[in-house]
Amino acid sequence: MLQDDLNFKSGFAVLAGLANAGKSTLLNKFAGVDLSPVTHKPQTTRQNILAICEGRDYQIVFVDTPGFLHAEYKLQEVMLNSLNQAVSEDADLVLFVYDATSTLSKHLELVKKLKELYCPILLVINKVDLVKDKDELLKIKNAICAQLPIKKVFYVNAKKGEGVDQVQRAVADYIPFSPPYFPKGQLTDRWERFYIAEFIREQIFLLYNQEIPYSTFVEVETFTEDLGDKNFIRAIIYTERENQKAILIGKGGSAIGKLRKNAEDRICQFLQKKYRLELRVEVAPAWRSNVKQLKKFGYID
């Protein structure tokens, strides 16, 4: 083994926090690309997403997770399991992402879970731009540090990327000496199809309200890569009820037309290639509570 290999560090840094705390925004800043869907709605992230970041002598695998929640239906239980598994089994380090406008009382259960961990925990107080009175930030820090063995605290505006580099440097310090987990230059561990479905779902979260985003699952049926100008993607949006299907489509197809356009732009921008997106809506009754459907959709192994 070369001397340099012995000095190499590598590890999994898991982002944990409540829904809407800004975990995916932060992950995207680490990645340098908008990999993980970000929306103003809670529970946007449903599955763990990896962003692999490299330095000269380290490779950090950042893990975005679903926000901590009280599971009411099976899909939420699966989301919570993803978070639990990431922090309890995979993490070499946890980044506790805390929305500075939130309250500690909403975090009691999550704090209880974090107390059980043996790995280092770094506290990232995010959305500091929304807090006028900076003394408030100090109070948040003191309250959390009284509860958890926090190694370091960061004040961050993830949306603007302010304070993010300092977090990454600290993570590189705290991860263990280890050979890299992934080949050099790899950004993530999933295929394009996964991100295409995620970006369509992201645009659904941005365009539709109430229960609609939560009731949808997106499946990429066809993804062509060798047809030049004629490359296309065909995707199915599953929803739970006929009336939700009607809302998704909209009068004369107006709503789905807008969704198609926005999602197509997002996908083409990410893949840096031109694709024509085709969408179809189907009903899969109560799929969020149906283990068989969740397996079919890939939420359960």
Short-list 212, 242, 213, 239, CA closest to 297 = 239
The minimum distance between CB 222 and Mg ion, in angstroms, equals 27
Residue the block writes with tokens 């300092």: 166
Q: Of the listed pieces 36-44, 52-60, 191-199, 247-255, which binds ligand GTP according to CB under 6 A?
A: 36-44
CA dist 217 and 230 (Å) reads 26
Tokens of 54: 């490299």
Smaller CB separation from ligand GTP, 157 or 262: 157
The minimum distance between CB 40 and ligand GTP, in angstroms, equals 4
Torsion of CA 77, 191, 259, 70, to 10 degrees: 10
Smaller CB separation from ligand GTP, 63 or 233: 63
Residue 161 in contact with ligand GTP, rule: CB under 6 A: no
The minimum distance between CB 76 and ligand GTP, in angstroms, equals 12
Partner residues linked to 239 by β-bridges: 283
Tokens of 8: 């190499």
CA dist 6 and 9 (Å) reads 8
Answer for which of 51, 62, 67, 86 binds ligand GTP (CB under 6 A) is 67
The minimum distance between CB 59 and Mg ion, in angstroms, equals 23
* CA angle in degrees (0–180, nearest 5) for 274-275-281: 155
Residue 11 in contact with ligand GTP, rule: CB under 6 A: no
Number of H helices, E strands in the chain: 10, 9
Answer for which of 33, 71, 108, 130 binds ligand GTP (CB under 6 A) is 130
Binding site for ligand GTP (CB under 6 A): 17, 19-25, 38-40, 42-45, 66-67, 126-127, 129-130, 157-159
